[in-house]
Amino acid sequence: MPSSVTMEIVPGIHQIDGINGNCYVIIRDGLTLIDTGLPHGSAQILAYLRNVLQKNPSDVTTIILTHFHIDHTGNVVELKKASGARVAIHEADADYVSGKKARPSLKGARGLLMNVMGRLFFRTPDFQPDILLADGDTIAGLTCIHTPGHTPGSICLFDPGTKVLFSGDLIRYTGVKIEGPPPQFTPDMRGAMQSVKKIAALDFGILLSGHGVPLKAGASEKVREFARSIQ
């Protein structure tokens, strides 16, 4: 059933509840979506826009993808069709969503299971992104920070007005502790840890990750503590 629970993190930034892979909405001149969850969630996302935000799909002007994994891109084609929004992704991940490069197989037993599940239940059409991002670009008022490792084109997005950092899968908060990206889904863990240290140099108040729960208190200091623990 579509969610009617309002998940406003800070004024003008919402998390859509019940999507496997966190999906965020920024309300400004138009609407910006950050990530879209696993496939089969587009109806729930659109219901949140209509029923909770009292907005139309056409109010979504931009969809930003933090990386190419299916639990972040799964509904983008349907949402683009419903809204007419422009889709942005880092240039290093663009060929994976367009089909020019094969998505790499995931590692380990859980990775093997996800590979099989993806082929059977979560197949999505390839698409051509409208905007190719690079480190330091500004989009929808957000600063793009290239943080490779989890994927070649993984990004974080920093909102200077609210001091919110959208971290994709680079860093997550479980409600108890900070974690890095899952190793079985991260081909370059060393690169990812260097990216964590890059993010730790920023000053932000709230961490919103691709999985897990919001971290609202002392977010940047807790990330710095995590970065100091990396060998």
> Is residue 44 in some structural domain?
yes
CA dihedral 10, 194, 192, 90 (to 10 degrees): 70
Q: Is residue 2 part of a domain?
A: no
Per-residue b or e along 92-122, where b marks 16 or more CB atoms closer than 10 Å to that residue's CB: bbbbbbeeeeeeeebbeeebeebeeebeeee
In a domain, 3, yes or no: no
Is 1 contained in some domain?
no
Distance CA 207, CA 205 (A): 7
Query: For the chain, what is the domain count?
Result: 1
Nearest to 125 by CA among 169, 73, 71: 73
In a domain, 178, yes or no: yes
Task: List Cβ neighbours of 221 (8 Å cut-off, separation of 6 or more).
Answer: none
Is residue 191 within 8 Å of residue 184, measured between CB atoms?
no
What does the pLDDT profile of the chain (231 residues) look like in tens digits?
A: 444 567 999 999 999 988 889 999 999 989 999 999 999 999 999 999 999 999 999 999 999 999 999 999 999 999 999 999 999 999 999 999 999 998 886 666 555 555 555 554 567 889 999 999 999 999 999 999 999 999 999 999 999 999 999 999 999 999 999 999 999 889 999 999 999 999 999 999 999 999 999 999 999 999 999 999 987
**Which domain CATH number covers 223?**
3.60.15.10
> Does the residue 132 lie in any domain?
yes
Task: Tell me the whole-structure pTM to 2 decimals.
Answer: 0.92
Question: CA 230 to CA 171: how far, in whole Å?
Answer: 13
Give tens-digit pLDDT for 115-127: 555 554 567 889 9
Assess if residue 150 is contained within a domain: yes
- Centre a 10 Å sphere on the Cβ of residue 136 and count the other Cβ atoms it contains: 9
Alpha helices in 5-64 (DSSP H): 42-47
Per-residue confidence (pLDDT) for residue 2, from 0 to 100: 45
200 falls within a domain? yes
pLDDT digits 0-9 by tens, 15-67: 998 888 999 999 998 999 999 999 999 999 999 999 999 999 999 999 999 99
Domain range for 108 is: 8-228
Q: State the Cα–Cα distance between residues 194 and 95, nearest whole angstrom.
A: 24
Question: Which of 14, 80, 84, 82 has its CA nearest to residue 48?
Answer: 14
Q: In the sheet that 131-133 helps form, which strands lie side by side, from edge to edge?
A: 8-10, 13-16, 23-27, 31-34, 60-64, 86-90, 131-133
